[in-house]
């Protein structure tokens, strides 16, 4: 490779070298013969002719070697905008500086063909659909000015990969769009659980705006009022299983709708719990738990002590159990064991050991605290010691708060509940961390009411609330069911699922590469992703197992349209199938969120890069047009021939 400051010559093959040698020889020969034959001519005449000969030879040599010229000695600046660019913003850019730094004409590119620039710019305006492909054609680009929303992280990464050197970015953000600048929700829910939607709004109305949630039937479910740039959290309980679309609406202070977005969810029935209740005496509490669980399809076995060694057993929705006695077989069959303190303390040593082993293997233990548990806390099994309780002065009434997700505690209904005269012993920080001790329910002042800790694979939970049945007697079955569902889901043994689609961060958009991961303890090779609205749009996704987590398989697919996509996974060498759903939003949805994400990504990128005044000099060679050399050769050779024919004396 030969670099000749402004020119570049690629490595020459043997034939080219030979050709060059021939040309050189011919040039020398012709020059010598010219000199001899033109001895009677003036020197300048001879030199002119030799120069023509030289030019012809040179152009012939150029045709052979095909040199390239250095196009850009300095980097070019590039300006791109997004559809909602602000004209004032564009005018605020210091083009002098840009031109000076760039050293060449500025090229304006626009990513939206429907928008036209102001003619006053008088520049070469081009429009592109795909920003990434633009940079493939201009790999020498090193500086970029963006006006508008910005570029997403994936686009910036792609641009960087196609460039010869890192890109430095100047960003002039456009006005923030009104709408939901941040939002998240859990797409997959169990029937009976709440849908929680959290997010952040931006509004041009400085007064009180409102965010309303509309259910699939078009009825408003709930509404909250807030100011611009405040966060919101709203909830609703879906009524039916299946795929639904809620809508979330932002309205200004005059109740004019600013924006309306779709929230897609998938509600499914999960496995019902199998509950075992062992109690030292009948109680209203367990009676109401039994009624609620049984009416909703759970399997229940209730054992009530009626004598020293006699129990009354009631089986609900169960045909038979392996054992009626407190044995390992019995414990292995259930997901959650509910006991009162007296019943727990009344177990024999052997039974306590069996219980411990069962909990370590995953059984959930829920203990309803009573006076016995307080008075005989020293007899509590050692593995439950961190969660022991102690006497307080008097019983209290508190409003219990619990959370459906891990983001915070809420009280769906603020009603008082009596708490027994006890408190949990102060927890040792180290023990709390080691045993994953958690507060499941707390009072408004943060006092724990229900606490749990991990023992092996299972959890032990102690509750200071003994009278949640009051909710039912007061006619508030909703709170009662919500509380117990929350408790059971956290305390009971989880159901084994061979496969599970991991929660994805929504919303996802059409035309963007979408990643999904499946947690599986069975080997899987691939998944088929099919559009619900267009069954022909089917993609087979090959899944790769994660390096660090052997049970996770991830893959990518490209959604071509908005709507639901069905993910069908087949287990290798098995007939088992697993199905789940992913929702894809259209590109004209969640505009404020998209803008917010792009701004954030661009600003982050800029933080990592620095706009320096030193510009990298990039060498870029452009092949020179071969016709020039042909014309030169033809012209010069013609002139030499003409001179030889007409100007020579015979």
Closer to other proteins at the Cβ: 66 or 489?
489
Cα separation, 82 vs 155, in Å, equals 13
Task: Pick one of 69, 71, 317, 403: the residue that binds other proteins (CB under 8 A).
Answer: 317
Instruction: Give min distance, CB of 519 to other proteins, in A.
Output: 4
Site for other proteins in 205-264 (CB under 8 A): 215-220, 237-244
Assess 500 for contact with other proteins (CB under 8 A): yes
Closer to other proteins at the Cβ: 137 or 319?
319
Q: Which stretch binds other proteins (CB under 8 A): 141-149, 185-193, 227-235, 632-640?
A: 185-193
Cα separation, 503 vs 583, in Å, equals 12
Residue located via tokens 């070019």: 76
Assess 577 for contact with other proteins (CB under 8 A): no
Assess 166 for contact with other proteins (CB under 8 A): no
Closer to other proteins at the Cβ: 88 or 219?
219
Site for other proteins in 508-547 (CB under 8 A): 519-521, 532, 535
Assess 305 for contact with other proteins (CB under 8 A): yes
Q: Which residues contact 201 (CB under 8 A, 6 or more apart)?
A: 179, 180, 181, 209, 211, 226, 228, 229, 230, 232, 250
Task: Pick one of 36, 43, 254, 308: the residue that binds other proteins (CB under 8 A).
Answer: 308
Phi, psi for residue 461 in degrees, rounded to 5? -125, 135
Instruction: Give min distance, CB of 538 to other proteins, in A.
Output: 12
Assess 347 for contact with other proteins (CB under 8 A): no
Instruction: Give min distance, CB of 150 to other proteins, in A.
Output: 37
Q: Which stretch binds other proteins (CB under 8 A): 48-56, 71-79, 269-277, 325-333?
A: 269-277
Assess 23 for contact with other proteins (CB under 8 A): no
Task: Pick one of 118, 257, 295, 325: the residue that binds other proteins (CB under 8 A).
Answer: 295
Cα separation, 501 vs 580, in Å, equals 7
Q: Nearest Cα to 373, choosing from 363, 362, 364, 385?
A: 385
Residue located via tokens 């002590």: 305
CB contact burial 48-66 (16+ within 10 A = b; e otherwise): ebbebbebbbbbbbbbbbe
Instruction: Give min distance, CB of 460 to other proteins, in A.
Output: 11
Cα separation, 532 vs 564, in Å, equals 6
Task: Pick one of 80, 380, 488, 517: the residue that binds other proteins (CB under 8 A).
Answer: 488
Cα separation, 120 vs 124, in Å, equals 11
State the DSSP H helix or E strand holding residue 448, giving kind and residue range, or none if neither: strand 448-455
Cβ atoms of residues 369 and 283 within 8 Å: no
Assess 293 for contact with other proteins (CB under 8 A): yes
Q: Nearest Cα to 462, choosing from 338, 371, 293, 378?
A: 338
Instruction: Give min distance, CB of 28 to other proteins, in A.
Output: 55
Site for other proteins in 55-114 (CB under 8 A): none
Phi/psi region, residue 501 (left: phi>0; alpha: psi -120 to 50; beta: rest), is beta
Site for other proteins in 125-154 (CB under 8 A): none
Closer to other proteins at the Cβ: 241 or 421?
241
Read off the DSSP letter of residue 386: G
Instruction: Give min distance, CB of 254 to other proteins, in A.
Output: 15
Closer to other proteins at the Cβ: 316 or 526?
316
What CA–CA distances, in Å, run from 362 to 198, 344, 348, 352, 359? Answer: 33, 18, 21, 15, 5
Instruction: Give min distance, CB of 522 to other proteins, in A.
Output: 8
Instruction: Give min distance, CB of 159 to other proteins, in A.
Output: 38
What CA–CA distances, in Å, run from 12 to 63, 216, 393? Answer: 12, 71, 98
- At residue 44, the 3 state secondary structure works out as helix
Closer to other proteins at the Cβ: 140 or 580?
580
What CA–CA distances, in Å, run from 476 to 369, 420, 444, 472? Answer: 23, 21, 20, 5
Query: x/- contact string, 395-414, with other proteins (CB under 8 A)?
Result: -xxxx---------------
Closer to other proteins at the Cβ: 174 or 485?
485
Task: Pick one of 66, 233, 272, 351: the residue that binds other proteins (CB under 8 A).
Answer: 272
What CA–CA distances, in Å, run from 34 to 40, 46, 635, 649? Answer: 11, 8, 18, 13
Instruction: Give min distance, CB of 494 to other proteins, in A.
Output: 4
Assess 193 for contact with other proteins (CB under 8 A): yes
Site for other proteins in 418-477 (CB under 8 A): 431, 434-436, 444, 454-457, 474-475, 477
Assess 638 for contact with other proteins (CB under 8 A): no
Instruction: Give min distance, CB of 429 to other proteins, in A.
Output: 14
Q: Nearest Cα to 194, choosing from 137, 119, 246?
A: 246
Cα separation, 614 vs 166, in Å, equals 13
Task: Pick one of 478, 572, 622, 625: the residue that binds other proteins (CB under 8 A).
Answer: 478
Q: Which stretch binds other proteins (CB under 8 A): 69-77, 90-98, 495-503, 591-599?
A: 495-503
Cα separation, 150 vs 173, in Å, equals 7
Q: How many residues sit close enough to other proteins to count as binding (CB under 8 A)?
A: 95
Instruction: Give min distance, CB of 286 to other proteins, in A.
Output: 13
- Alpha helices (H) along 11-152: 14-37, 43-65, 87-91, 95-102, 131-137
Instruction: Give min distance, CB of 534 to other proteins, in A.
Output: 10
């Amino acid at each position: 490779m030969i670099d000749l400051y402004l020119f570049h010559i690629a490595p020459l093959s043997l034939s080219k070298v030979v050709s060059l040698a021939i040309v050189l020889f011919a040039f020398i020969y012709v020059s010598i013969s010219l000199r001899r034959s033109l001895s009677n001519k003036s020197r300048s005449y001879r030199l002119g002719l030799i120069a023509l000969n030289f030019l012809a030879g040179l152009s012939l040599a150029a045709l052979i070697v095909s040199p390239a010229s250095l196009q850009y000695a300095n980097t070019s600046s590039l300006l791109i905008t997004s559809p909602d660019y602000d004209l004032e913003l564009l005018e605020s850019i210091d083009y002098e500086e840009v031109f000076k730094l760039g050293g060449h004409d500025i090229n304006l590119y626009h990513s939206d063909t429907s928008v036209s620039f102001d003619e006053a710019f008088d520049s070469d305006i081009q429009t592109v659909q795909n920003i990434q492909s633009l940079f493939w054609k201009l790999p020498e680009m090193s500086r970029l000015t963006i006006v508008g929303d910005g570029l997403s992280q994936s686009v910036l990464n792609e641009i960087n990969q196609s460039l010869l050197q890192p890109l430095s970015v100047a960003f002039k953000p456009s006005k923030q769009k009104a709408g939901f600048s941040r939002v998240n929700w859990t797409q997959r829910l169990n029937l009976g659980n709440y849908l929680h939607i959290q997010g952040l709004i931006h509004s041009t109305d400085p007064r009180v705006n409102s965010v309303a949630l509309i259910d699939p039937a078009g009825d408003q479910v709930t509404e909250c009022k807030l100011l611009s740039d405040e966060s919101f959290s709203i909830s609703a309980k879906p009524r039916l299983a299946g795929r639904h679309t809620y809508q979330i609406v932002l309205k200004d202070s005059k109740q004019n709708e600013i924006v309306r977005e779709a929230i897609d969810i998938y509600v499914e029935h999960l496995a019902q719990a199998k509950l075992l209740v062992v109690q030292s005496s009948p109680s209203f509490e367990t009676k109401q738990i039994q009624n609620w669980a049984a009416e909703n399809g759970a399997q229940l076995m209730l054992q009530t002590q009626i004598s020293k060694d006699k129990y009354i057993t009631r089986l609900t929705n169960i045909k038979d159990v392996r054992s009626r006695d407190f044995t390992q077989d019995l414990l292995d069959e259930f997901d959650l064991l509910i006991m009162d303190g007296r019943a727990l303390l009344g177990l024999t040593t052997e039974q306590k050991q069996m219980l411990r082993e069962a909990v370590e293997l995953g059984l959930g233990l829920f203990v309803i605290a009573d006076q016995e548990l307080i008075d005989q806390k020293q007899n509590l099994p050692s593995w439950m010691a961190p969660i022991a309780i102690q006497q307080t002065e008097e019983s209290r009434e508190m409003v219990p708060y619990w959370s459906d997700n891990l983001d915070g505690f809420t009280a769906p209904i603020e009603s008082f509940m009596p708490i027994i005269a006890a408190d949990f012993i102060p927890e040792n920080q180290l023990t709390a961390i080691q045993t994953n001790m958690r507060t499941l329910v707390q009072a408004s002042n943060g006092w724990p009411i229900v606490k749990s800790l991990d023992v092996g694979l299972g959890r032990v939970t102690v509750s200071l609330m003994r009278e949640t049945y009051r909710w039912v007697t007061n006619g508030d079955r909703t709170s009662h069911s919500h509380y117990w569902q929350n408790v059971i889901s956290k305390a009971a043994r989880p159901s084994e699922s061979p496969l599970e689609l991991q929660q994805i961060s929504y919303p996802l958009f059409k035309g963007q590469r979408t990643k999904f991961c499946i947690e599986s303890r069975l080997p899987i090779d691939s998944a088929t992703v099919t559009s619900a609205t267009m069954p022909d749009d089917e993609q087979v996704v090959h899944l790769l197992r994660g390096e660090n987590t052997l049970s996770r398989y991830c893959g990518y697919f490209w959604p071509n349209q908005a709507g639901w996509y069905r993910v069908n996974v087949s287990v290798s060498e098995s007939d088992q199938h697993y199905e789940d759903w992913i929702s894809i939003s259209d590109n004209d949805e969640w505009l404020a969120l998209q803008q917010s994400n792009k701004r954030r990504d661009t600003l982050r990128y800029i933080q990592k890069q620095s706009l320096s005044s030193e510009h990298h000099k990039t060498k870029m060679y452009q092949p020179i047009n071969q016709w020039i050399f042909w014309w030169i050769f033809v012209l010069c050779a013609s002139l030499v021939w003409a001179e030889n024919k007409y100007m020579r004396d015979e």
